[in-house]
Structures are given as structure tokens and as C-alpha cells.
Amino acid sequence: MIEKPKPLDIEDLWEEDLLTRYPEPDQKAKEEFRNYDSPGRDTVREFYRINHRYQTHDFVQKKRTEFLGLNRRKMTLWEAVEFLNTLVDDSDPDTDLDQTQHLLQTSEAIRADGHPDWFVLTGFLHDLGKVLCLFGEEQWAVVGDTFPVGCRFSDKVVYPEFFEQNPDHHDERYNTKYGIYEPNCGLRNVYMSWGHDEYLYHVMKDYLPEEGLYMLRYHSFYAQHREEAYTHLMDEHDHAYFKWVRAFNPYDLYSKAATPPDVAKLRPYYEDLAAKYLPDTLRF
């Protein structure tokens, strides 16, 4: 039996799995990122077995109704970031950085490369939807690769064999190439599996440029932005904006390091940046 993971243990193992699946030429060697024994891989498999079993069209509709009213909590951006810090992962052998420092590593790497300020802010925000864990969501419904529901599951999604246990896999309404959708209908008309990406998109959709919103909404949609498995559902608008999702991806995966950012020094810059784009209080 696999031991139940600690909070965010799955996230760290998921990131290790992503680094294995999608290595960058100049990245640190895989074995230098984390030193997990083989049961870690078993834990990732078990995570996806549950995720692929329960991420159905009906489940997604239920979660959208449950959470997208954004009536759980009102917070300033920094209150939300500090709230997220309660998810510090004691199981990660590489780093003891809190979530603020993780977010800053991503955004500071983006800023160092001279990208627009909304891109920097998006990097700082991108994982904030993981507050879902603090609202009682199971990890399999917060992190992990995302994919469309309501149509056939692609064999390009990680561990596709586990979709055999998903009721939608056997439901003729949902198990064809297009399912409930029309060809090239546009991803805005497609329901994605439930997780922090979709949730944070709805928190931020009135405030950020559309390029940033695409990054938030689809940064875990590896089956498309790395495997191009769902191009038949995309329209020209999606194709134009997915270049931003792909531009963001290296900062998401490969900016982690042990050196902590100076939060106190950086905080005024990010408070000013947030004030430019976001309201004083956000609804979660």
C-alpha cells in the first residue's frame, strides 16, 4: 500500500515527473533535482490513477458550481500568498522555501529576461490557485496535468491507461473524438479537468491581459502545449495565444533553485505591480 502523501508531496513528485518527460537541454541533471526512491514514482502513478478515474464531465461541472462563485474568502494578494504559505512542503529534499519564494523564483526569472510587467505578475500569480487545498480539495483535484473532459481522452495525456476506469471513457456522449464539442470550437468552449489552473483563471479573468490568462489557464495542459493532442478543438485565437503558454512553460518548470529570493526586498515591487492590475481585494 502506498503511504498517503503529505501536503504538496504530490506536487513535488509531479514536477519531477514533468522534468523527466520534458527535459530542457541546459537544465540541471534530473538526478540533481530530487533524490526520491522508486516509491515516489509509484505515488505519481497512484495520483494519476485516482485523477483519471474521477475527473469526469459531471465532476468538473460540480466543482465549477462549488468554487466558481468565488465566495470562500476575500483577501488582498499578499494575504492570499501568505495563506498559501501554510502549504510549505516538508517532504521536498531540495528546498525548504515557502510558497512565496517559489512564486518569486518564477517571476524574478521572467523579470530578469526583460518581459513585460504583466508577464512578471502572471509568473508570481500562477500557482496561487493551489489555495484550493486549503479549502478542502484533494491534491488530485488541484495539481497534475490537465486535459479536456467531455470528449475522448487522448493517449498523449500522462498514464492514459488509467482512463479505462473513468465512466466517461465508456459513455458514448463523451468518448468520441469531439464528444460534446464541435471541430475547432475554441478552448474557451471546452471544459478542462478541475484544478488550480482553471480556478485561478476565473479569479483573475477580469484583471490580466489575455496573454497572461492563457498562461494561467493552460500552463498544466501539457497534452496540448507539448504534445499537440487537442489541436482539433482549438481555433485560430487559441493558436495565436498558445505561443504565450509555451513562452511561460520554461519559467514554470526550470526556475527552481535552492537560493531563496529576498522577500522583504522584493515585496514593494510586487505590491506596486499588483496595484497596477488587480483590485485591493480578490475573491477566492
Domain assignment present for residue 164? The answer is yes
Structural domain span for residue 279: 9-283
Three-state secondary-structure class, residue 192: strand
What's residue 170's pLDDT?
98
Domain assignment present for residue 2? The answer is no
What's residue 1's pLDDT?
39
Q: Which residues contact 163 (CB under 8 A, 6 or more apart)?
A: 52, 153, 157, 169
What's residue 38's pLDDT?
47
Strands annotated E in 96-196: 148-149, 191-192
What's residue 102's pLDDT?
83
pLDDT tens, N- to C-terminus, the chain (284 residues): 344 445 456 767 767 777 777 777 565 544 444 443 444 567 889 999 999 999 999 999 999 999 999 999 999 999 999 999 887 543 333 445 678 888 999 999 999 999 999 999 999 999 999 999 999 999 999 999 999 999 999 999 999 999 999 999 999 999 999 999 999 999 999 999 999 999 999 999 999 999 999 999 999 999 999 999 999 999 999 999 999 999 999 998 766 666 789 999 999 999 999 999 999 999 99
Burial letters 235-259, b for 16+ CB under 10 A, else e: eeebeebbebbeebbbbbbbbbeee
Is pTM beyond 0.75 here? Answer: yes
Domain assignment present for residue 17? The answer is yes
Grid coordinates given for 280:
485591493
What's residue 148's pLDDT?
98
DSSP-derived secondary structure letter, 95: -
Number of domains comprising the chain? 1
What's residue 166's pLDDT?
98
Domain assignment present for residue 33? The answer is yes
Domain assignment present for residue 218? The answer is yes
Domain assignment present for residue 4? The answer is no
